[in-house]
């Protein structure tokens, strides 16, 4: 390793120790680790081409990977050797790891789930690929005193990325705009018998090139290295010399800029037309390139070959499974139909049968506004042929419903892919359901709501299509990497196999009354808290008490996640301390973090309010160190890896029936935090696994919310009846927290009173009382830690390995492999004779 490090420092980076910077040392280490990865990566692809397993393609708008270096060292079993080598070289491993940028490929739970799934698919030996765009920049929120969250572009690739490999040999064209012309005038592209008729030809199209960049995704200790392929947009002609020569320098590079905008940022603001168009372009760009790539690989005869051997598509669903992670990749369905019907000349009905058996759809939300609906006019302008295909799919779908349910016009309207009211829109969730053979929710309660409320007519039509696949997290990153002290303590008690079989954590139930183990668990937690307190002091210039309860609420900022309710509780605690400073108060550090979508006004106002409250609380001498409020700016994976192991109390307080699953709740549980939460999302199953008595559950259940909706939610009633709530709201209204701008939070107050769909006031009293129970238990360190151990012991169900096994068995119809691919220094045919890699499968 030391030789490799020095070789890369000299020959890759062209530096020596006299002039090398810490970033140079990071790159030298990354290239050294990558050397150990590349041979396994190539060997894995050779193995897949030889064995020809069914390929899994996971299409997701986000892959929130975080940092790669440490995760790779852990999965390859190189961590200790690298630590020793770096120590002998006189360098600091932790300093080098901190230099790596978080990959700018996501900002929320959707992308972090996708990243965990890629890790598990590699660990389970599945031939899996992740696909989406490769944005150069991502939106990084920063906090300004008067403006709150302000977005800035951050080029996470400005220093280069040692983990990716450009593949220009696989660059592919993607077509936009134009018009559909038929070879025979007036002929329909599909006849009534489902046969392909005269084939349409695009005219006046704009071509953009998709350049793939591959990133290796190593499994844990099994030598399998899968691929995440990200597409970067390029113009066919970077530079127009004719325009340049006549002095029009902007026009000379306009085509390049327009093309590259497609993959320039991950989330364009879609509050205006151009942003919507760019977002749809981005989504189609990825699926068009990915499907060309999939079909090329399906047709290829051997490793590295460009020759075609399969030209018959009957076996396509047996060789290819495409998972749509939410509705963003939904255009893959009409695109695959276009390829089959227009290019491969398959009859419509056959093409549709193959398409349906290939796709599966994961729903991630029950909120109507989060389900994509694209204006028909926009799709007609950007993708005219695809609109024709969607209309054809819809017509056949509605004909089938009309046959089964004659004269039921309301059912036709509810199940149509096209929404006719006002602006005509395409309901992308309906397209996903109709075009897939399986639809799954991501927690038991969510899947039930999907079947009985959100898509009840579809579930009634095809009940066998709907499934549940409760989310999970990878224990490699979310325990071994981020909390090595706890991981080592668990391994001393039950062995190391739990890393690949998290269900073995149940063995820890035998340790609940072990006083030594209780003390060791508490010690690890305190060490993590001290470390995070030092980080906060360094990065945020705020000093906190490491012995205070770390009460953490980190997730995307959204009304349904109810950061506002947490904020009201902070104000209530503040007022209680001010009212009676001598009264016993359990010291608490409330840490809130998350990003607001660029165009989401209310979420940005919530961030402003939290920071305004923090400013008052943290500078009040009466409060002192009893209560501190911290807002974590630019919350991201690498920051989550610091705060989660240090957390005492995990806030999971969404309105019942609104959170699909959540995965942050699972990470906190695994790392020894107790949960305060509603019976929503995966909290329900966490309570089932650990026992409801071992979580702090409060508030309305789904049926209570439904009943309150039926009766009519009256926020004023709670305001009038709850004095502490009234006091907190009056302080916000009066400008107590914003004296320079007293009306600053009027929008927040008006929302809470007049259009709060998520009923903050209704759960406020139960939440505050539950928090009192939390404080009471925290005073008893031993009882608290015993409950922590019970939660860790119950966390085994929430491994993404378990989730992926269920997808493989029930949706993709593939078997995980328990064979360890031989490393590069062994013959390739040794694979069949290796000992199975523990319990990975």
Q: Which residues are catalytic?
A: 364, 555-556, 561, 663, 667
d(CA 168, CA 803): 35
Q: What angle do CA 599, 602, 603 make, to 5 degrees?
A: 75
User: Among residues 678, 637, 702, which one has the least CA distance to residue 105?
Assistant: 637
User: Among residues 216, 165, 214, 162, which one has the least CA distance to residue 8?
Assistant: 162
Handedness of CA 106, 110, 116, 117 (dihedral sign): negative
Bridge partners of 225?
218
d(CA 64, CA 67): 9
Three-state SS at 567: helix
Tell me the three-class secondary structure of 507-533, residue by residue: HHHHHCCCHHHHHHHHHHHHHHHHHHH
> What's the maximum distance between 2 C-alpha atoms anywhere in the chain?
89
Residue 377 is inside which H or E element, if any? Answer: helix 376-382
User: Among residues 94, 451, 464, 56, which one has the least CA distance to residue 229?
Assistant: 56
Whose tokens are 């749509």? That residue is: 324
DSSP state of 654: P
Handedness of CA 370, 688, 666, 504 (dihedral sign): negative
Bridge partners of 456?
none
Pairing, β 320-325 against β 55-60: parallel
Bridge partners of 696?
676
Burial of 319 (0-12, 13-18, 19+ CB in 10 A): middle
Query: In Å, how far are 220, 368, 515, 811, 836 from 124, measured between CA atoms?
Result: 9, 35, 37, 16, 11
Bridge partners of 166?
213
Within 10 A of 809 (CB to CB), how many other CB atoms are there?
A: 12
In contact, 118 and 608? CB cutoff 8 Å: no
Tell me the three-class secondary structure of 7-48, residue by residue: HHHHHHCCCCCCCCCHHHHHHHHHHHHHHHHHHHHHHHHHHH
Whose tokens are 């590295």? That residue is: 304
413: left (phi over 0), alpha (psi -120 to 50) or beta: alpha
Q: String of b and e for 80-106 (b: at least 16 CB within 10 Å)?
A: eebeebbeebebebeebbebbbbbbbb
User: Among residues 419, 459, 411, which one has the least CA distance to residue 439?
Assistant: 459
Residue 643 is inside which H or E element, if any? Answer: helix 637-643
799, two tokens: 């491994």
Burial of 573 (0-12, 13-18, 19+ CB in 10 A): buried
In contact, 388 and 189? CB cutoff 8 Å: yes
Query: In Å, how far are 277, 297, 555, 604, 756 from 559, measured between CA atoms?
Result: 26, 44, 12, 10, 8
Handedness of CA 342, 344, 349, 351 (dihedral sign): negative
Q: Which phi and psi angles does 133 have, rounded to 5°?
A: -80, 165
């Amino acid at each position: 390793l030391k030789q490799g490090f020095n070789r890369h420092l000299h020959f890759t980076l062209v530096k020596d120790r006299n002039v090398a910077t810490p970033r140079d040392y990071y790159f030298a280490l990354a290239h050294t680790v990558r050397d150990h990865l590349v041979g396994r990566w190539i060997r894995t692809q050779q193995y897949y081409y030889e064995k020809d397993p069914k390929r899994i393609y996971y299409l997701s708008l986000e892959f929130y990977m975080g940092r790669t270096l440490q995760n790779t060292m852990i999965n390859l079993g190189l961590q200790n050797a690298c630590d020793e080598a770096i120590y002998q070289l006189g360098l600091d491993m932790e300093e080098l790891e901190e230099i790596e940028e978080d990959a700018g490929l996501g900002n929320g739970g959707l992308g972090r789930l996708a990243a965990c799934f890629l890790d598990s698919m590699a660990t389970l030996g599945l031939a899996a690929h992740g696909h989406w765009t490769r944005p150069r920049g991502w939106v990084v929120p920063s906090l300004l005193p008067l403006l709150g969250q302000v977005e800035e572009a951050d080029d996470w690739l400005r220093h280069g990325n040692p983990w990716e490999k450009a593949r220009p040999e696989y660059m592919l064209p993607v077509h936009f705009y134009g018009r559909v012309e038929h070879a025979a005038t007036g002929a329909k592209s599909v006849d009534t018998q489902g046969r392909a008729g005269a084939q349409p030809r695009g005219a006046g199209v704009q071509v953009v090139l998709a350049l793939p960049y591959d990133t290796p995704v190593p499994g844990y200790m099994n030598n399998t290295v899968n691929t995440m392929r990200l597409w970067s947009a390029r113009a066919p002609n970077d530079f127009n010399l004719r325009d340049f020569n006549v002095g029009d320098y902007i026009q000379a590079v306009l085509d390049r800029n327009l093309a590259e905008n497609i993959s320039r940022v991950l989330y364009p603001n879609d509050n205006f037309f151009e942003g919507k168009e760019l977002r749809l372009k981005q989504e189609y760009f990825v699926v068009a390139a990915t499907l060309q790539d999939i079909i090329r690989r399906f047709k290829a005869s051997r490793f590295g070959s460009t020759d075609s051997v399969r030209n018959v598509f009957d076996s396509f669903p047996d060789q290819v499974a495409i998972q749509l992670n939410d509705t963003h990749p939904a255009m893959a369905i009409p695109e695959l139909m276009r390829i089959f019907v227009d290019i491969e000349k398959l009859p419509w009905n056959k093409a549709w049968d193959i398409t349906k058996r290939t796709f599966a759809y994961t729903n991630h939300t029950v909120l109507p506004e989060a389900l994509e609906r694209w204006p028909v006019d926009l799709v007609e302008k950007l993708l005219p042929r695809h609109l024709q295909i969607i209309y054809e799919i819809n017509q056949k779908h509605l004909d089938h419903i009309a046959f089964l349910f004659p004269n039921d016009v309301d059912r036709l309207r509810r199940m149509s892919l096209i929404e006719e009211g006002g602006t005509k829109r395409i309901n992308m969730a309906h397209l996903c359901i109709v075009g897939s053979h399986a639809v799954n929710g991501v927690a038991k309660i969510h899947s039930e709501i999907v079947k009985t409320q959100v898509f009840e007519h579809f579930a009634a039509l095809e009940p066998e299509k709907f499934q549940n696949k409760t989310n999970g997290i990878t224990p490699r990153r979310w325990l071994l990497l981020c909390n090595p002290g706890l991981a080592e303590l668990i391994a001393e008690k039950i062995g190391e196999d739990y890393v690949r079989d998290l269900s073995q954590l149940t063995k820890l139930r035998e340790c609940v009354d072990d006083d030594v183990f209780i003390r060791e668990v508490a010690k690890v937690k305190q060490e993590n808290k001290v470390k995070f307190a030092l980080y906060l002091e360094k990065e945020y210039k705020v000093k906190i008490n490491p012995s205070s309860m770390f009460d953490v609420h980190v997730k995307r900022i959204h009304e349904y996640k109810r950061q506002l309710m947490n904020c009201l509780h902070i104000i209530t605690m503040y007022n209680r301390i001010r009212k009676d400073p001598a009264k016993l108060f359990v010291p608490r550090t409330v840490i809130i973090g998350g990003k607001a979508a660029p165009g989401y006004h209310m979420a940005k106002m919530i961030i402003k309010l939290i920071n305004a409250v923090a400013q008052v609380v943290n500078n009040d001498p009466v409060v002192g160190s009893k209560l501190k409020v911290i807002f974590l700016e630019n919350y991201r994976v690498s920051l989550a890896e610091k705060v989660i192991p240090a957390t005492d109390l995990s806030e999971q307080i969404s309105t019942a029936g609104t959170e699909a699953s959540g995965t942050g709740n699972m990470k906190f549980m695994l790392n020894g935090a107790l949960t305060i939460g509603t019976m929503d999302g995966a909290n329900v199953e966490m309570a089932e696994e650990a026992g409801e008595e071992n979580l702090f559950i409060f508030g309305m259940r789904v049926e209570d919310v439904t009943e309150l909706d039926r009766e009519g939610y009256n926020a004023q009633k709670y305001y009038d009846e709850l004095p502490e709530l009234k006091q907190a709201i009056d302080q916000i209204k009066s400008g107590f927290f914003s004296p320079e701008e007293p009306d600053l939070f009027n929008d927040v107050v008006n929302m809470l009173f007049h259009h709060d769909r998520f009923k903050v006031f209704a759960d406020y009293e139960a939440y505050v009382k539950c928090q009192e129970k939390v404080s009471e238990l925290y005073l008893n360190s031993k009882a608290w830690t015993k409950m922590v151990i019970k939660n860790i012991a119950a966390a085994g169900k929430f491994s993404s390995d378990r989730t992926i096994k269920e997808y493989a068995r029930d949706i993709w119809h593939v078997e995980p492999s328990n064979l360890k691919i031989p490393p590069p220094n062994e013959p390739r045919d040794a694979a069949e004779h290796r000992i199975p890699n523990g319990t990975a499968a």
